[in-house]
Amino acid sequence: MQSFVVMQGETYQVERELGIITSPQKDSGGQEPHSWLRMKEINVGDRIFHYVKGYIVAISVAKTDCYVISKTLDIESQKKNTSDNDYLVELEYYELEEPLNVLSNFREISPLLPIKYSPFQQDGNGNPGYLYPCNEQLVIKLLELISDLNIYRVDEEQLELAIGTVRRTEHNNFIPMIAEMESEVKLMIRKGHEKFRKELLPLWANKCALCDIELPILLQASHSKPWKDSTHIERINPFNGILLCCNHDALYSKGYIAFDGQGRLHISSSIPEEDYLIYNISPKKKIARYEENKPYFKWHLKNIFS
């Protein structure tokens, strides 16, 4: 299962009524914008968050894979307002009773946005374009925020309006969909992390690459290219990571230390030299990295290290 964010704006009402999302294949210059081309990645069962004028207003489930509209297809008459050779996906829409204001919750959302192809800008507004990927960690956060507005609020009201609220909840058919979606995504993350850790441990002889701690409970399988920025294959690739103790993992994931393509340790200027001993780090340290680590170490050094 994949998840996406679609930026609809004025097209939302029409597309919701038709139960679709649709986009051209090429722009006026004959180019294929990534946010249109991404439509081809949607498969049956994928979930889509619908963003309209600052709000997540609905979640939908794909009823079909993406396909191309052409004159040879038997399309219902109401769908003929789309042009030939457009991408189209048929959806089941679940509108939220309480839309989620992205800007108001951006402090929680922002850390989970990828550096590339983020649906939202750094100021909290939507990015131009149509369809963006939504990584699993971002999915979980959006579902938590949506649930706070649309599900847990109902539980609180139950204390005062028990009968009416129960009846209302029974008709709120997006609640089972959200629960199923959250369960599937959390399972995907857990299985991905388990596979990543299992294959990473022997690459580093089951000990911290910097301080040789071997106690398993203190060892973290650290991604060099974070989950939110990685493809599915990169997320479970053991060479996209390094085995570190909890302290060094925190320094690495927050960008206070990094490794270059040769395995040399880089230390952020934010850490005073007199504190190197406290953190058990040295600018002379060099680890025996694998050649496959090189592109991921370089990505981390460029994008995370500060």
Residue extents of the structural domains in the chain: 3-134, 205-303
Residue 75: predicted pLDDT: 45
DSSP class of 209: T
Whether 39 shows a pLDDT value over 50: the answer reads: yes
Compute the distance between CA of residue 240 and CA of residue 219 in angstroms, rounded to an integer. Answer: 16
Residue 173: predicted pLDDT: 73
Q: What band does 30 get if pLDDT is binned at 50, 70 and 90?
A: confident
Neighbours of 254 (CB within 10 A): 13
pLDDT digits (tens, 9 = 90+) for 257-287: 999 999 999 999 999 999 999 999 999 999 9
Fold classified for 3-134: ph1033 like fold (3.10.590)
Residue 77: predicted pLDDT: 44
| Contact (CB, 8 A) for 101 and 83 | no
Whether 171 shows a pLDDT value over 80: the answer reads: no
Phi/psi region, residue 117 (left: phi>0; alpha: psi -120 to 50; beta: rest), is left
Whether 71 shows a pLDDT value over 60: the answer reads: no
Neighbours of 62 (CB within 10 A): 21
Residue 153: predicted pLDDT: 60
| Contact (CB, 8 A) for 193 and 221 | yes
Mean pLDDT of the 72-98 span: 72
- Pick the closest to residue 6 from 45, 41, 48 (CA basis): 48
Mean pLDDT of the 63-90 span: 70
- 3-state SS track over the chain: CCEEEEECHHHHHHHHHHCEEEECCCCCCCCCCHHHHHHHHCCCCCEEEEEECCEEEEEEEECCCCEECCCCCCCCHHHCCCCCCCEEEEEEEEEEEEEEECHHHHHHHHHHCCCCCCCECCCCCECCCCEEECCHHHHHHHHHHHHHHHCHHHHHHHCCCHHHHHHHHHCCCHHHHHHHHHHHHHHHHHHHHHHHHHHHHHHHCCCCCCCCCCCHHHEEEEECCCHHHCCHHHHCCCCCEEEEEHHHHHHHHCCCEEECCCCEEEECCCCCHHHHHHHCCCCCCECCCCHHHHHHHHHHHHHCCC
pLDDT digits (tens, 9 = 90+) for 116-164: 999 999 999 999 999 999 999 999 999 999 998 887 665 555 555 444 4
Whether 89 shows a pLDDT value over 90: the answer reads: yes
Residue 83: predicted pLDDT: 54
Average confidence score pLDDT of the chain: 89
Q: What band does 70 get if pLDDT is binned at 50, 70 and 90?
A: confident
